[in-house]
Structures are given as C-alpha cells and as structure tokens.
Structure 1
Amino acid sequence: MNKFGIMSLSLEHENKYIHEIAKYGRNYNLTIYHFVPSTYHPFTHTVKGKEYMPDSDTWIESEFPVPTILYDRCFYHDDSHSIQCKNIIQWLKKQPNITFIGNGLPNKWQLYQVLRESKLAAYIPETFLLQSANQVNFQSLNPIIIKPINGSQGNGLFFIKRQKEGILVRTDKKDKTVEKLFSDRITFNKWLNQLLKRNAYLMQAYLPLSNKDEQPFDIRALMQKNVKEEWEVVEKGVRIGEKGRIISNLSAGASIVAFDDWFPSIHIKLKSFLKQEIEEIFSLLPSILESSLSPLFEIGIDIGITPNGSLWILDVNSKPGRKVITTAYPHLSEKLYKAPVLYAAKLADDKRRNLDEKAISYRNNN
C-alpha cells in the first residue's frame, strides 16, 4: 500500500473532509494518515498523528515515517506554530522521495505580481503594498479596501472612506458589521499604522460588487486536476451576503446558490459575453500560475461583477474550501472527496513507473 499523508495545523481541523477522503484510500491502494507538520522528528524522520483503519472506519494514534505522497491543508497565520509548520513543509518539499499533490500559492502580493503581467491583467484590480498610513491618498482613491497579504475568508478586511464627518472604517465580524469614524487624519493614521505593525496589508480601490438589493455577492469556482493532468471546473457557486455587508462571507451569514440558477436573474447586458469572459479566466489561469510558480492540484477562484458588468478576479486560493460547491451541488460531494485520493494514487503510480524504468535502464547499461 502507498502511504498518503494529509497535513493540517491541528488534528481537529477539517476532520469531516479528511475522514471522507480516507474512506476511499483502500480502493486505490493507499493507506491514509493525518498529521501536524510540527511533530516531525529530524533524527527518525517520523511524525505523530493518526492512521485511518478502513475495516472499522476509525483512526488510531500512531507514529510513522513521513508518507511519500502529501496533501497540504495547513492554513497559516503569523503565529510561531504556523511559521514552524511552514518551514518544515518547505523542507519536506525539497526531499526527493516525497511528492506533494500540489505546491500551493504564495501570498496575495506575490500572486498579484504574477497576474498583473499575464493575459488576465485586465481582470486584476490595481493593488498596492501598504506599508504606511501616509500611502493612503483619498484624492486618488476613495473609498478603498485593505486586506492582509496572507488573509483568507475575508478576515482582516477593512472598507475605508473619507467623508465630510471624517474617515469611516468598516469591517465585517461574524455577527455584525463594525464601524468607527475617525474625526481627523492624525488619529486615523495612528490606528492604521498600529494595524500595519501586526500584519502586512494590500490596498485596492473599492469595487461596488453588490446586486440591486445591496447584497454583496461573488462567484466561487473550484478547479481541480484529473488523473490525466487536465484542469477541470468542478462547478461554480454564488455567495450572496446580507444587505449592507462588505463581503459575501459564509461565516457572516451569506447564502449559496448554484451558478446556473442565479445567472438568468442578474440584470446585466451582454450576459453571453460575460459568460465567455468567465470561461476565458478558467482556461488561462491554471497555466499562468503553474508556468510562473509551481505545480498545483486545485484552486478556488473568486470572481466579482460590478453593476456595469465589469469582471474582476478577487482572489485565487490553492487550498479552497468546499462548502459553496457541496451546498449548491450536494451530488458532487463524493467526487470532491475522491479527487485527492485519485490524484495521489496517480502520482504514486508515476513514481513506481519511474523507479521501474530507472531499474531497467540501470540493468541494461551494466
């Protein structure tokens, strides 16, 4: 049996998803493990975690050699444990006997550098690396959005607007939108500079990405590689946030609808052209990323549409969630759980075939 390891920052993280993946392991000659990278022991080259037992559909705690095929589901923050795990994973990627089913993407700023020079540049909002509050020029950009370069799920995103009464700052929390009004630039700068000491941020012009009912919305597409190394769009769903919110965040109460159910209802001219643009993004984006960065297995793509029909790539994620797709298309759940197993099995077969070919070549040359 080939050994397939799934990594996360905690053994409690994504338990349901990882358990569902594990159920298909034996069908494809894979033993499934779940572990935290920080448990790696440099002298024994082992890790501590859990091994899936298919006969009883349970996990047992175990210490085992690092599996030769790995799936990274670690969502990093700026804490010491995240940094430790990230460093270990970077080291593991350099080991010749270990293969990752996908290598991940860099932070949002590095990703922007790649996309702004690509064929998709027209769909990328102009973005600035925000290092000081003095960079915020309300005469050229107002309102603005700022977001962490390592952020996900809308965490740490702020809407900022200069108005008569002062500078308004808004952010979405799980249960409400929080606002603060700074009466002058000095107090605003002090707040923002304190924020920038904790995290690196990006700045963009605010895009009006709401529908006629003032609900923020975006399109989430999930793409994955199949065993033929071809990219496929698994499906597209639409997240529709609560009225008055900044973003359509699921944790803040956004609803989910299937793309094909939603699309006929939108009040935008040239719908067929819009659909062609979306398809163009899907056809070009994976090759752009892989040619400039490193091989991937899956990506989540967030696309926004302004009232005038302008299309914008809002985010690209190499560790996408599945809630949008499984909610809008429940029948795809099994396909999503099997996909990492199928691709891991394909990579394991490729490794075995390469070893066999090297062995035959060695014998023929000696």
Structure 2
Amino acid sequence: MKLPERNTLGVITCKSKGMPPFLETTYFQQLSHEGLRMGLPVIVFSPMDVDWKQRKVSAWHWQPKRRAWTAGTHPLPSLIYDRCYYTNSRHYTRYKPYVERLAQDPDVHLLGRPLGGKWSTYQLLEPNPSIRPHLPPTSKLVSSRDLEQALDHYGSILIKPNGGSHGRGVIALVPFDHGYNIRGRTLRNQPLHFSLPTRTKIISWVQEITANTRYIIQPYLSLVTADDRPFDIRILVQKNGSGMWETTGSAVRTGKLHSLTSNLHGGGKAERTLSFLQQHFSENTTTRITHTIESLSTMVPRQIEREHGRLVELGLDIGVDRSNRVWLLEVNSKPGRSVFLLTGEKEQRRQSVLLPVQYARSFFFGPTGGSV
C-alpha cells in the first residue's frame, strides 16, 4: 500500500501528567529525529484530541534546534503508529472508541493492528502445530470450578490478568504441607508473599482479587537459574523498510532472588543473551535454545499476521524451564526498548527506533532495501 499524501507519521499515546503530557518521551524524541532525517515528520497526540469536523489534531512535535517539544495544530495524519498503553480495563474502555474511530476512518491507516489480551493471542497461536508445543496450556478463569480443575490437574498454577503488563497481577499458587504458598505482584505492582491453609480459602481469595479483572490460568513453570533467579528472554522482531520481518535484538531479564517474575518494572536487571546462556547452559543446550528462539521469531509474526492482520513489531517473551524446554510466555504488539539501553547495546537500540520509521516511510515512498 502506498499513501498518496500527507507524509507525516502520527503517533497516538495516552495522556499522562507532566509536560509533554505523555510517556515514552525519549523514544518519541528518537523516533522524531530519525523521521526528520528520512523526510518523515513525526507528531505525537492523544486519540482524544482529534477534531473530526476540521480533520485536525492538537499534537506535539520535537524541535531539535530548541531541544524541546512544541504543541500545535496539525492536519490529521493518514498513517498512525499506536503506542497507547492502558493501565487497566477501565483505562482501555475509556480510550477504545477514540482509537476505533481512527482505525475505521477510510483515509487513516494503522501501521500495525494491536493485539488483544493474552487469551485472544493464545487462540491466534495455538492452531499452529509448530508453535503449540512451546505454549503453556492456557484457559480462562471464569469461575471457582476453573480454578479447582487447574489445581487438580497441575498442582501449582499461575494466574495472570488477561490484559496486564510489566508483571502486574501475576500470581503463583503453589501447594505445600500446610496449605498454599502465594507469590507474585498486585495490580499496583506491590510484591505479594504469604500462605493460606486451605483450598477453600485460596478460592475465596482469588475470587475476591479477580472480581473486576479478567484472568487466565496456566501451569506454574519453574523458569529460574540454578541459584533460583527468575529469568526470561525478550526478543524484538520488527518490519523493515521492505515490509520484511527482522530480529532486531534480544536481551535477558533477570529478577530478584526467589521473586516470581523477571520484569524490569518489578526490580529486574538486563543482561546480554548469548553471554547469559553460555554462563548457565552447556554449549549444546545454548545452541539448541538459540535455534528454537530463532524459529519462534520467524514463525510467530507470520502466524499472527495470517490470523489477525498487519503488524509493525512484536516483543516475544521466552522462558526456559529446568528441563531446558523453551516456552513462549507472552507476545506484545507494543514492545518497549529500554532493555537494550540497560545492556549497553546502543546499535540494537538505534535499529529498534529506525525500523518503524523505515517501515512507515515505505507507505509513502515505496519499499526500501535498507537504511535511508
């Protein structure tokens, strides 16, 4: 698809306190820098700030000479990059009609169609026989019977908010001699660690905390190093200027000792992937894990696009259990990039900014074979 005019990339984001009134200011500043370098201006705005009658938006743009964000009124861009993050279902519901209005407008095109929650993403991936063995069995938590059946079947289970991120609301329920051990984080990202003596009390507690939020259930997988530090591997795959998928980079996120998740927002750290794998696994196992990750990085974007529609980028979260089995834990269509700064891989960070601009530019000027 080649768009005929208005060669501006509009980035939509949720409003926040402060100036400028949005998050990811560093990323958007870098995006703007690369856009200007390639002849593709970038403006940032809330989907709530569209004047449909005038087809104009109240937006912000980065001014390199002043090194400042400036507010102004701009024509509604014909190409939109969705970077709206929703903190909870109420937040999502508030923005949904505004984002849908943009997506449904015949003269507006989304760079990529965001994924839904964890359950719908699982349903997109599960039919693929090559991906299925790497997916933790997943079901919806609707009633106490769902919880009881999962506890009977798996013993130890993990419950996750269907739409959550950053490890918020992820809780493990693990049986021990005197009841159940509960570990994880609240929806406000506060650590949880306590026990309850009976299954009845567990079910009652879970019903209480999940009353207003949709949750999924998975078996609890031991995804930790030999010294009991949780870890996962974040893979960033993106479209390039030719519309082809590339693996931009990867990094390992390690959590605190005995903690449940390795998410950076929960106090985790970032390490380079190959050196981490070589430190914790044999040469043969490292080679096999790397090969599996490469296969998933190729298969997953194609499978989701086939079932769901156009994407621009994906973050794949990969786990490795104590049997060295590789698991695809989550897929995120609005991945962050801070992990590459923390590992000191500046070229991967720059490439992660460059590729969305190259892909967006191809909508106006046609495909490119590499850096512009």
Q: Structure 1 residues 262 and 81, CA, compared in 2 at 3 Å: closer, same or farther?
A: closer
Q: Is the 8 A contact 1:256 1:327 kept in 2?
A: yes
For the pair 1:120 / 2:136, whether they are aligned, the reply is no
Match of 1:164 in 2: 177
Cα deviation, 1:132-177, whole Å, max 9, x if unaligned, reads: 2232232212110000110111111001123332232211369974
Match of 2:346 in 1: 330
Give, in angstroms, the shift of residue 110 of structure 1.
0.7
Match of 1:194 in 2: 208
Aligned mates of 1:213, 1:332 — CA distance in 2 = 29
Match of 1:5 in 2: 10
Match of 2:99 in 1: 89
Aligned mates of 1:212, 1:12 — CA distance in 2 = 40
TM-score (normalizing by structure 1): 0.90
Give, in angstroms, the shift of residue 186 of structure 1.
3.2
Q: Is the 8 A contact 1:134 1:189 kept in 2?
A: no
SS in 2 for 1:114: helix
For the pair 1:51 / 2:66, whether they are aligned, the reply is no
Match of 1:249 in 2: 263
Aligned mates of 2:59, 2:285 — CA distance in 1 = 53
Q: Structure 1 residues 214 and 189, CA, compared in 2 at 3 Å: closer, same or farther?
A: same
Q: Which shifted more, 62-71 or 123-132?
A: 62-71
Match of 1:178 in 2: 192
Match of 2:156 in 1: 143
* Number of residues of Structure 1 aligned to a counterpart in Structure 2: 351
Q: Is the 8 A contact 2:158 2:172 kept in 1?
A: yes
Q: Structure 1 residues 144 and 215, CA, compared in 2 at 3 Å: closer, same or farther?
A: same
For the pair 1:345 / 2:355, whether they are aligned, the reply is no
Aligned mates of 2:87, 2:257 — CA distance in 1 = 29
Aligned mates of 1:25, 1:229 — CA distance in 2 = 17
Matches within 5 A, 1:253-272: 253-268=267-282, 270-272=285-287
Give, in angstroms, the shift of residue 289 of structure 1.
0.7
Aligned mates of 1:176, 1:8 — CA distance in 2 = 25
SS in 2 for 1:198: coil
Match of 1:153 in 2: 166
SS in 2 for 1:30: coil
Match of 2:370 in 1: none
SS in 1 for 2:274: helix
Give, in angstroms, the shift of residue 282 of structure 1.
1.3
> Which AA in structure 1 matches 2:258?
G
Match of 2:318 in 1: 303
> Which AA in structure 2 matches 1:151?
G
Give, in angstroms, the shift of residue 32 of structure 1.
1.6
Query: How many percent of aligned residue pairs carry the same amino acid?
Result: 26
Gaps (5+ residues) in structure 1? 352-366
For the pair 1:315 / 2:336, whether they are aligned, the reply is no
Cα deviation, 1:8-30, whole Å, max 9, x if unaligned, reads: 11232111111111112222222
SS in 1 for 2:210: helix
> Alignment RMSD, CA only?
2.0
SS in 2 for 1:296: coil
Q: Is the 8 A contact 1:23 1:57 kept in 2?
A: no
Q: Structure 1 residues 195 and 45, CA, compared in 2 at 3 Å: closer, same or farther?
A: farther
Q: Is the 8 A contact 1:69 1:348 kept in 2?
A: no
> Which AA in structure 2 matches 1:294?
G
Q: Is the 8 A contact 1:70 1:100 kept in 2?
A: yes
Cα deviation, 1:35-66, whole Å, max 9, x if unaligned, reads: 11122233333322213334433222123332
Aligned mates of 1:344, 1:111 — CA distance in 2 = 24
Q: Is the 8 A contact 2:167 2:189 kept in 1?
A: no
Aligned mates of 1:131, 1:189 — CA distance in 2 = 12
Match of 2:231 among 217, 224, 231: 217
Q: Which shifted more, 104-113 or 48-57?
A: 48-57
Match of 1:360 in 2: none
Give, in angstroms, the shift of residue 323 of structure 1.
1.4
Cα deviation, 1:294-337, whole Å, max 9, x if unaligned, reads: 11111000100012111100001010011112322123332222
Match of 1:280 in 2: 295
Q: Is the 8 A contact 1:38 1:84 kept in 2?
A: no
Whose radius of gyration is greater, 1 or 2? Answer: 1
Q: Is the 8 A contact 1:76 1:83 kept in 2?
A: no
SS in 1 for 2:34: coil
For the pair 1:206 / 2:220, whether they are aligned, the reply is yes
